[in-house]
Amino acid sequence: MRFAIINGFIILSFMSLFSCMSPKKFIYFKDIPDSIYLTPYVIKMSEYTDPKIQANDVLSVSIQTLDPTTVNMNNVVQGGGNAIANTIANNNPNAVGPAGFEVDKNGYIDLPLVGRTQVAGLSLTEAKAVISRKAALYYRDPVVNVRFLNFTITLLGEIGARQYTFPNEKVSILDAIAQGGDLSFTGRRDNILLIREEDGEKKFVRLNINNSDIFRSPYFYLKQRDLIYIEPNRGKVLTSSDVVFQRNVSLITILFSTISIGFGVYTIFKK
């Protein structure tokens, strides 16, 4: 009888490895109380700072003017430089410059007529001001627009594998997860890995979206080319298609089952 109990306990222990995880593991912001129907639960958000332009970024730069004397000049400055594309913004006949410019390794972009301009380390607003000052030497009341063409976030792991491009720069970790269609049930929500390349270094940060403290994290808002990795939870790891692990579990289960049957037969014949 004692042996049967021990054997049953061992088998149940193996079965527990594959049991479902607690539903609490899947709840976002589970620390927020339920009784907040009349009085809101307030959290101070992490401060958003504009992302800085880096080498290898691709920028859309458009310069527009209402001065008709510059129309003929456009035929000269279209294209050239290190432009990725040669489409003039908004098809405006007075818009100057191709759709995309790549920031070189030294942090410069080559703009038609305006010339070589350093933008690395600047926000889009700061880069717009610098380009506007230089463009004012050639155009009357120029209107300059600068934006990222490569504000991409890469998602990997238990959310699929895909790269998403966002139309604006204020993107949070929750925005990226929503864009990816949410985490699967096998994805860990308390240990999300953020990989960021910045100043020639790789930075690794762990994020927990089960807790509302995520809103206070300085890494709540993402930057261009961030990579988000969702690792599998314990249940997914243990039930993976690892042939060796599955074989060992099967052998151990068969071994204890055989011993249990043998012990039962021995007990019957002994009587």
**Spans of all domains in the chain:** 23-49+151-235, 58-148, 241-271
* Furthest C-alpha separation in the chain: 112
Q: Which residue has the tokens 């609490």?
A: 24
- Fold match between domain 23-49+151-235 and domain 58-148: no
Q: Where are the alpha helices (DSSP H) in the chain?
A: 2-17, 71-77, 124-135, 173-179, 234-238, 243-270
Nearest CA-CA partner of 159 in 187, 134, 193: 187
Measured between alpha carbons, how far is 160 from 142 in angstroms, rounded to an integer? 44
23-49+151-235 — its CATH code? 3.10.560.10
Task: Report the top-level CATH class of 58-148.
Answer: alpha beta
- In angstroms, the CA 103 to CA 122 distance is 12
Render each residue's pLDDT in the chain as its tens digit; 271 residues: 554 544 555 555 555 544 445 555 668 888 888 877 778 888 889 999 999 999 999 999 988 887 666 544 443 333 333 333 333 333 344 444 445 899 999 999 999 888 999 999 999 999 999 999 999 988 888 889 999 998 999 999 999 999 999 988 999 999 999 999 999 888 899 999 999 998 788 999 999 999 999 999 999 999 999 999 999 987 666 665 555 556 666 667 776 666 666 655 556 656 5
**From the centroid of its chain, how far is CA 122?**
22
Report the pLDDT value the prediction gives residue 93, as an integer from 0 to 100. 41
SS3 211: coil
- Token pair listed for 152: 């991409």
What's the chain's length in residues? 271
